[in-house]
Amino acid sequence: MKVGIIFGVSELADPRAFEGKASEFLSSLAEDHDIMGGLFVSKKSDFKRVKEEVDLNKADVLVLYPLTGGTENGLKEFAVYRKPVIIYGDPFNNSIAAGIELREYFRERLIPATLIKDRNELKAALLGYEDSSELFEKFLGMRLGLIGRTSPWLINERFELPYVHISLKKFYEYYDSVTDEEGLEAIEDIIDDAIEIKEPTREALAKAGRVYIALKRIIDDYRLDGFTIGCFDLIGKIGTTPCLALAIFNTQGIPAACEGELNSLLGMAVIRKFFDKPAFMGNIADYGDDYVLLAHCTAPILGRYILRTHFESGTGVGVAVELPKGKASLLKIRGRRAVVAGVEVVRTEKSENRCRTQVKLRVEEAKDFVDGTIGNHHLLAYVDSEELADLLSELGFEVMLY
């Protein structure tokens, strides 16, 4: 196991006073592990020097040792490596105080981080991370993209993970390079398998297909594991929406969220990565004592479906999918917090005053769930709620399970 080690010493302290402690610490770890680094940082600008001297991308885990307080700004920069972190604190020179501050910084970015204060705890923490290395590698290595901007009405959106930003200008370049004929050909099977095409015209279907091809090329060129797109901005520019494309991608195994929401995308990606299942991203449209109703204009195509327009704008191509009945989970992620509920899909509804895919879920104490959840946009996935909650906890989320 390759362990990257960085020591933090305040600019007010003399590093020479800590060389003996650092050397002894390195020697003890080198008995059982392949050690990298062992360098001192005092301030943020020292990170560049360390980055040039040692490639910590090759480390399996990072051990950060704030030998004094006042080292938080220098050590927090190592979050860029997206590696599990162990913060070693000792009872002197405000070491533990700095460690607590650092631990929260890494956890806010969903990087597994633990604070320990003796060698036995350090050994146990290293073994624990080694046992979970595959899990963390799959999670921390996800490459997610935001195309355009997050919709401005998502006032609780908060996202600290790195992502690839792609401008809508770039998307339009891809879109303009696709012909109507190519667009129609790309979604020919989707058109043929629909039980009804209610409003969309041939022109609307062609545009929807062009959006799908453009997004597919972006996924390939930018090597994305999943993406979200600021979809409402497309309506005024090209007179369509990506609803159908997102439905297709989620069915094919590529997490794709709408309204530029990265938290929902993260939840979709976790569900796909660890359960190999798609997720339906929906609005809570109604609720009662024992039910919640989700609705949106895109959904993974898991049952019979009708091709319709996007509800609010009357443009584009949305999908009204008859999602299967059965046990499932409802998930909401916001930052490092997650809410999970075990639900049962009981039926599809067809109101003309809601988004196109509408599904009624049986939820025990639904009003308590709605009162305790942490924002709109919930994910419906056919996975076990306890297994999902356990996984999220292991990945570092604070989970509330209903």
- In the block, tokens 């790195």 appear at 162
Q: What is the pLDDT of residue 88?
A: 98
Q: What is the CATH number of domain 2-139?
A: 3.40.50.10940
Instruction: Quote the DSSP letter at residue 345.
Output: E
Task: Kindly state the average pLDDT of the residues 168-174.
Answer: 98
Task: Kindly state the average pLDDT of the residues 52-68.
Answer: 97
Comparing C-alpha atoms, which of 263, 292, 268 is closest to residue 280? 268
| pLDDT higher than threshold 90 for residue 269 | yes
pLDDT digits (tens, 9 = 90+) for 332-391: 999 999 999 999 999 999 999 999 999 999 999 999 999 999 999 999 999 999 999 999
Instruction: Quote the DSSP letter at residue 264.
Output: H
Give bridge partners of residue 63 from the DSSP assignment.
5, 86
| pLDDT higher than threshold 90 for residue 91 | yes
| pLDDT higher than threshold 90 for residue 51 | yes
Q: Are the beta carbons of 97 and 124 closer than 8 angstroms?
A: no
| Alpha-carbon gap, residue 136 to 133, rounded angstroms | 5
Q: Where are the domains of the chain?
A: 2-139, 142-401
Q: Which helix (H) or strand (E) holds 192?
A: helix 188-193
Comparing C-alpha atoms, which of 62, 56, 82, 55 is closest to residue 138? 82
| Alpha-carbon gap, residue 192 to 195, rounded angstroms | 8
SS3 call for 237: helix
Confidence grade of residue 112 (pLDDT, cut at 50, 70, 90): very high
Strands (E), 240-325: 256-258, 280-287, 291-296, 305-308, 318-321
Q: What is the pLDDT of residue 68?
A: 98
Task: Kindly state the average pLDDT of the residues 59-85.
Answer: 97
Task: Kindly state the average pLDDT of the residues 123-145.
Answer: 95
| Alpha-carbon gap, residue 348 to 361, rounded angstroms | 9
Kindly tell me the sign of the dihedral angle through the C-alpha atoms of 100, 102, 105, 110. Answer: negative
- Range 25-28, long-range pairs (CB < 8 A, 24+ positions): 25/65, 25/88, 28/119
| Alpha-carbon gap, residue 83 to 105, rounded angstroms | 13
Q: What is the pLDDT of residue 158?
A: 87
- In the block, tokens 């003796």 appear at 118
Q: Which helix (H) or strand (E) holds 107?
A: helix 95-108
SS3 call for 8: strand
pLDDT over 70, % of the chain? 100
Q: Which helix (H) or strand (E) holds 323?
A: none
| Alpha-carbon gap, residue 301 to 278, rounded angstroms | 9
- At residue 280, what is the residue type? F
| Alpha-carbon gap, residue 295 to 88, rounded angstroms | 47
Q: Are the beta carbons of 301 and 247 closer than 8 angstroms?
A: yes
Task: Kindly state the average pLDDT of the residues 247-255.
Answer: 98
pLDDT digits (tens, 9 = 90+) for 192-236: 999 999 999 999 999 999 999 999 999 999 999 999 999 999 999
Comparing C-alpha atoms, which of 205, 352, 206, 198 is closest to residue 285? 352
pLDDT digits (tens, 9 = 90+) for 277-297: 999 999 999 999 999 999 999
φ/ψ of 321, rounded to 5, equals: -105, 135
Q: Mean pLDDT for the chain?
A: 97
